[in-house]
Structure 1
Amino acid sequence: MRWGPVARRWALALILAPVIARADAFERISPEDAGYSSEKLQGLKAFLQASGSDSLLLLHDGKVFFEWGDIHRKLLVHSIRKALLSGLYGHLALSRDLDLSQTLDQLGVDDEPLRLSPAEKLATVQDVLQSRSGVYHPSAAESEGMSQRRPERGSHPAGTFFYYNNWDFNVAGAVFEQWAGRRLYDVFNEAIAQPLGMLDYHHRIGALEGPADVPTAEDDGFYQFERSQSRFPAYHFRLSAHDLALYGQLMLAEGAWKGRQLVSADWIRRSTQPRSVVQAEYGLAYGMLWDVVVPARAGEKPAFFHTGVDVHLLAVYPERKLVMVHRVNTDGPYKFNEGDLYQVIRQVHGARGP
């Protein structure tokens, strides 16, 4: 059978359609061009395969020099949601001064079924963003381990003690929506996802009314309510490695993208300063909605990152112009663990040339 020119063009379009749909704005370069060893990174691929990773994406100065797995598979980001919220606050900071000294009492923040005490209402927005509110109220999306480790109510005054607290993070989302006057998902879509050109985020937002509810795989985000614990929902995101890397690159570029300032550079610097030392022996601290690596030398910019259930990772290393994104399919059973993630990070850094 002989095809005419029109038929040939249609056939070619059908063949190329999947490729075109997966095209992205990232330029590809060799590991050597980024200062890494191809041979060592080849060994990393074998480890990713054996350990049960879903994808790994490495960028140097905005250019991909390593990719493995399905970088367009949309997965729950878990606690990386907090780092996404930080960017939303940073976007809001472009148009207004954020008074982080405002207290929960001034903002009219209270909870139910258990109410906040007058002392708890003295916590400021900055305390909440730093997870130092001193409010140890049950919360939505709180794991069993977090619930067991939660300090007693009233045991620490506001601003005096760091505890990785989902109540704080959920309230941070509610305060953002109060200040913005809109759903945080709508702001994320219009102010960050669309300008960055995210390919796999389609702004389909749902809501769960209890811990037994299961989100659909099509949801790009959803509120998780557990009203028997708290009136404040957790706000979850589902993003691909590709789209999460775009966000990481935006953070590396101090909020600037194609001539536009999407997130305040000052906010990114402020939120990624070490404020609460978490593991002094490893130089790990917490800033505002970001984990921070305390710089080894004066004058260096701190690296900052966030993990999700100890297997997902978004990490930004400004001194190396490096963005690292690792994903695992945690929608079902998985074998990848925290130790495997440490091994991935070590192998990436170990593949760096002299």
Structure 2
Amino acid sequence: MFKIRLAFLLVIGVLIAGNASAQAWQEVDPTTLGWSADRLEAARRQSAALKPTAVMIVQDGRVIASWGDTSRKVNVASVRKSLLSALYGIAVAERRIDLSSSLADLGIDDNAPSLTATEKTATVRDLLMARSGVYHPAAHETGDIKRKRPKRGSHPPGSFWFYNNWDFNALGTIYRQQTGEDIFQSFEQRIAQPLAMDDFSTKDGRYAAEELSEHPAYPFKLSARDAARFGLLYLNGGRWGEKQIIPASWVRESTTPHSWAKRIRQGYGYMWWTLPPDTWGPDAFYASGYGGQVIAVIPSKRLVVVQTVDLKQNASGIRTSAFIDLLKGIASASP
């Protein structure tokens, strides 16, 4: 418990000293809020065996515990998709993007073999749900996605869910095309600055292009403490202090399961994963990236849990299932 407490105090000190204008994390002794010190320490030991870069546990905006280097920025892999989803919520509210627009409407195509007329009927909403039916090779794909990708033309747009990097990358192109804004500059100006993130800058994003597709991926680097602010924004329905950063209606819609990944009993919204309510209570969701990058939001406990993993230090990473087990241990320690 002493190690958890020490890590927590270091986080508070850095936040207050490093950014006096930020909404500093409030110092709390978790036991005064009804947390079990023994179970929290057991969760820390469980986490230590997994070798994350950092873990941060926040309840109602107060740091309950943290360990590792919460200021270290790492590539958060597919968490990038949930970050872009937030930007879409803002753009849709500002009427700069219409979810009913089709790929044909927007002039979206790809390298040969180019998209068919049927594939071009997929809408922006279909892409957000990973239901485009466009199974064109994509940049930044994992080997697992490449192996499991359905055949071109096997499913009409909107009819079938497949975790598809083509959809996610094309959404990046559509965002830049329709808003005239760079993704990373948008994130800094529209989200990072209002939330007073400590570490993020536009230099922490890059475009990853490959010859097989004209739509690049857009990897982000984030620190655990900045990721925790993003999770807290979603826990509070898109509101930060007195300002509504992301429409509350978008937060609800994007974290509602529109599809189900039956093998793992989880749902998929608009580039967010959702957790089964019988275990986690209503409306629990998380952003997930390869190697163990996670921002989990459990509204029933007013809880945000972040895990980051630097794959240069832990090449094997951490499986999502191992994080879910850790999350259960953390939740069991909470009141």
Q: TM-score, normalised by structure 2?
A: 0.90
Residue 17 of structure 2 aligns with an amino acid whose one-letter code is I
Root-mean-square deviation over aligned CA pairs: 2.1
User: How far 1:347 sits from its partner (Å)?
Assistant: 1.4
Per the alignment, do residues 18 and 118 of structure 1 end up closer, same or farther by CA in structure 2, a change over 3 Å counting? closer
In structure 1, the partner of 2:18 is: 21
User: How far 1:254 sits from its partner (Å)?
Assistant: 1.0
In the alignment, is residue 286 of structure 1 matched against residue 268 of structure 2? yes
Residue 267 of structure 1 aligns with an amino acid whose one-letter code is W
Cα distance per residue 1:154-208 (max 9 Å; x no partner):
000000000000000001111111221111111111010011111111221xxxx
In structure 1, the partner of 2:293 is: 312
Q: Distance in 2 between matches of 1:141 and 1:323?
A: 28
1:250 aligned to 224, 228, 233, which one?
Answer: 233
- Pairs within 5 Å for 1:44-83: 44-83=43-82
- Pairs within 5 Å for 1:88-99: 88-96=87-95, 98-99=97-98
Larger helix proportion, structure 1 or 2? 2
Q: Secondary structure at the match of 1:168?
A: helix
1:225 aligned to 209, 223, 244, which one?
Answer: 209
User: How far 1:132 sits from its partner (Å)?
Assistant: 0.2
Q: In the alignment, is the contact (CA less than 8 A) between 1:93 and 1:264 conserved in 2?
A: no
* Unaligned stretches of 5+ residues in structure 2: 1-12
In structure 2, the partner of 1:141 is: 140
User: How far 1:294 sits from its partner (Å)?
Assistant: 4.0
State which structure, 1 or 2, has the greater radius of gyration over its C-alpha atoms.
1
Q: Distance in 2 between matches of 1:232 and 1:333?
A: 30
Per the alignment, do residues 153 and 18 of structure 1 end up closer, same or farther by CA in structure 2, a change over 3 Å counting? closer
Q: TM-score, normalised by structure 1?
A: 0.85
Q: In the alignment, is the contact (CA less than 8 A) between 1:203 and 1:221 conserved in 2?
A: yes
Residue 241 of structure 1 aligns with an amino acid whose one-letter code is A
Q: In the alignment, is the contact (CA less than 8 A) between 1:51 and 1:335 conserved in 2?
A: no
In structure 2, the partner of 1:322 is: 303
In structure 2, the partner of 1:296 is: 278
Percent identity over the alignment is: 38
Worse-matched range after superposition: 16-25 or 266-275: 16-25
Per the alignment, do residues 112 and 295 of structure 1 end up closer, same or farther by CA in structure 2, a change over 3 Å counting? same
In the alignment, is residue 272 of structure 1 matched against residue 262 of structure 2? no
In the alignment, is residue 344 of structure 1 matched against residue 326 of structure 2? yes
Q: In the alignment, is the contact (CA less than 8 A) between 2:311 and 2:317 conserved in 1?
A: no
Per the alignment, do residues 332 and 137 of structure 1 end up closer, same or farther by CA in structure 2, a change over 3 Å counting? farther
Q: In the alignment, is the contact (CA less than 8 A) between 1:34 and 1:60 conserved in 2?
A: no
* Unaligned stretches of 5+ residues in structure 1: 1-15, 205-219
